[in-house]
Amino acid sequence: MSNFVNSSSKDVFPNDLFGPSRALAALTVTYGEQLVLAQIEAGKMFSDAGIDRMRSALGVQNPEDLVDYFQAQAGLLRRAGERAQQDAENLVKMHQLFSEQVQAFSRVLASGQAADKGRSAAA
């Protein structure tokens, strides 16, 4: 009996349990990495813009410079809004793709389990 359990568990356990778990973990890690990279990129863009605006503020020496500074600030806010909208659309696309991949993975896993049950019932 112990021979049967040991030999079958070595063959079945890793493939049936760890294989699907690893595949799902790989999908999740990839999705998480994409989210983190998007956050880092957005953070860098906003940090760079903030530093640029601070440097511009240091250059204000007269009323005309102040007007130019505020006009540039308005342009920055417009671009930041456009960027935020674009980032949101990209995140939605990333999430949809991840969701589709997980659903496809679940269907494959479920069909594999159904086939295994059919084989067990036939044996």
pLDDT tens per residue, range 15-36: 666 777 888 899 999 999 999 9
Answer positive or negative: Cα dihedral of 26, 28, 31, 33.
Answer: negative
pTM above 0.75, yes or no: no
What is the spatial distance between Cα 41 and Cα 91, in angstroms, rounded to a whole number? Answer: 13
Q: What is the dihedral of CA 59, 61, 67, 69, to 10 degrees?
A: 10
Confidence of residue 110 (pLDDT cuts 50, 70, 90): confident
Any idea which of 36-45, 46-55, 100-109 has the lowest mean pLDDT?
100-109
pLDDT digit string, tens, across residues 43-62: 999 999 999 999 999 999 99
